[in-house]
Structure 1
Amino acid sequence: MTDDQIIAAVLSGDRHRFRGLVERHERVLLQYLHNLLPNRHDCEELAQEAFLRAYTHLSRFDASQSSFRTWLLVIARRRALNFLAKHRPVLSEQVPEQATVADPAAGLTRQEQLDAFDRALEMLPLEQRSAFVLAEIQELPYAEIAMIEQVPLGTVKSRVSRAKLTLRRVLPAEFPH
């Protein structure tokens, strides 16, 4: 069944079908949230909240405006922003000029490289991190990211570009020029 068919079934009273949407989109949602928030437990809680909100407001979903995945990621992004506003009162707007995460000559293991990359992502301002994750990790088209982030297409391109520049500076081995 397609997302639209599942949604129609749920709205017609076949509520247990919503589980199909959860199973289909849970991995993408958790990966997206994990790249915004470092704590896995917080990510799982926010994912549950996003699915619950999607379920309770399913009648408001408009398939002509976006895909269910896009709509769900918009909900999750809002939940994450609210969470960060409550739990991280001061967000760094700039990555320190001297910041480095990994020494490219150090011969790091793959897990150490992934950990360094996660730390570098956490250094990015939330807007850049979110756009970068959606574009480069989730491989979503910029137009869909613009819908999720609710910003113009040019803003998405700019955020991704700035994120890449910052990551190149702090992770030169991962982003060769």
Structure 2
Amino acid sequence: MSQELPSFFREILIGVGEDPEREGLLDTPKRAAKAMQYLCHGYQKSLEEVVNGALFASDNDEMVIVKDVELYSLCEHHLLPFIGKAHVAYIPTGKVLGLSKVARIVDMYARRLQIQENLTRQIAEAVQQVTNAAGVAVVIEAKHMCMMMRGVEKQNSVMSTSVMLGVFRESSNTRHEFLQLIGRSH
């Protein structure tokens, strides 16, 4: 951990009117720095490390979907959490990705300062790059603390974003099948 990060958190405590020497706050700068490093550990990972060669030959050319992958990220505008789930699908062309790797890709990009729109695209493009799939679809649904805890304070709002690549963009039938399978189509 950088030596500067705890001192920055100490300055934040002072800035909000707290006494960093108060018993309950003595170790808070160090703990907050460790927490921030953990929440942003996606910067220390690469796509190659995360996938770690877990691509397997397969004749399957039918849709593969990983639903309800929980994600935790920090809004790059307010440094407040957004929490939700990602649904990721792809249509293989000779190779399938190890199941846990989809969740690890979601986590790698979520554990960076983000906006949900970019996160959705980064996940889709990473799965496309790794698998060379005929198409990739990603839908993310998340609740944003920057909207719930401050500002308009809307507790039940959920933001949905989607990115459709390849056949998911080109074929309304493929897109509809995906949305129906994740329970988002009427």
Common fold: TM-score over 0.5: no
Greater helix content: 1
Q: Which has the higher contact order (CA 8 A, sep 6+)?
A: 1
TM-score by length of 2: 0.28
TM-score by length of 1: 0.29
Highest Rg: 1 or 2? 2
